[in-house]
Amino acid sequence: MEKQIALIKGDGIGPEIVDEAVKVLDKIAEKYGHTFHYTRVLMGGESIDATGVPLTDEALETALHSDAVLLGSVGGPKWDNMPGHLRPEKGLLAIRKGLNLFANLRPAVLYDELKAACPLRDEIIGDGFDMVVVRELTGGLYFGARETVEENGMMVAKDTLTYSEAEIRRIAIKGFEIARKRRKRVTSVDKANVLDSSRLWRKVVHEVAADYPDVELIDMLVDNCAMQLVKDPKQFDVILTENMFGDILSDEASMVTGSIGMLSSASLNETKFGLYEPSHGSAPDIAGQNKANPIATILSAAMMLRYSFDMDKEADDIENAIKAVLKQGYRTGDIMSEGNQLVGCKEMGDAIVANL
């Protein structure tokens, strides 16, 4: 199979971690007879330095004509004093909008070898957990009408939470499709006991569920979900929810893994197209020092294979290679613990390739 991949190495540790992900993808291509073509795209600080803006129309066009985008990280103190519309992060917002990326996937996996990093008690952790938050990314409270006005001599702020049936339906379909590739359980999170938008959310999700009889659907109120994530995270497979709830719950879910350097993410549109990136930042303090953890980016590349290219076996191979590397005791500085072997970014990539 032949695929076009737009590479955005970005800023800080971005180039280092993307290079290791490419190394792993090239090994997969060699093993399975695929061909991956890479096209460099500038975004963020590197684009500001080269073109004066965080994302050019040409760069967006290149991304649009690819099969998927693999991103390192953007931003850093070098550009902190730029005007708001020229900050590196504006490039990320622009590419998400330009590519119509409405579904955000944030896996939270606790590896057996990294249990010590989890803030939860051993009896709660058990044999670990593996969940993914599927968050609606372009609607809801963050994108509704807002204003701050004076009424009767007092300042009043208003934010509008709006969801259409179509917006809910398309994210629900994504959630159920992803569940089919996993353990076939969807927990739909809302606040249907209070909010009209959540009552519509629940109605539409149940309509979509009828088309997926092989997937179990559980309704859960958002406050209960927040509690259950720290009480019994093992119960979750796919958490499907709206924008603001997903923003909060995905951060909570990632925190209970205890290691942000291990967390991948994806943003998808209505086709198979997606943008894949680690959840962590650009870490400019360790950039260029071979200290970065490339695993989150490599896991993001595995998500790209699974969700954009339908290469499930290849994605499994990468995930299993990472588990093997952790079992062998290789650790970058952010996940290092006594009795293991400290390695750099390149060495971690090499170890993962060796296990493929």
Catalytic residues: 142, 191, 223, 247, 251
Region for 354 from its dihedrals, namely left if φ exceeds 0, alpha if ψ lies in -120 to 50, beta otherwise: alpha
297 is written with which tokens?
């980016």
64 is written with which tokens?
């649009």
Asked if 50 contacts 85 with a C-beta cutoff of 8 angstroms, the reply is no
Q: How many CA atoms lie within 13 A of 229 on its CB side?
A: 28
CB atoms within 10 A of CB 148: 9
In angstroms, the CA 258 to CA 114 distance is 8
In angstroms, the CA 312 to CA 342 distance is 30
Q: What contacts 81, CB < 8 A, 6 or more positions away?
A: none
E strand residue ranges, the chain: 2-10, 35-40, 68-73, 103-109, 130-136, 146-151, 154-159, 185-190, 216-221, 238-241, 264-268, 274-278, 330-331, 341-342
298 is written with which tokens?
């490599």
Compute the CA torsion angle 230, 233, 238, 242 (nearest 10 deg).
-10
Three-state secondary-structure class, residue 8: strand
Any idea which residue has 């080269």 for tokens? Answer: 50
Q: What contacts 52, CB < 8 A, 6 or more positions away?
A: 86
Q: Label each residue of 239-251 as H, E or C.
A: EEECHHHHHHHHH
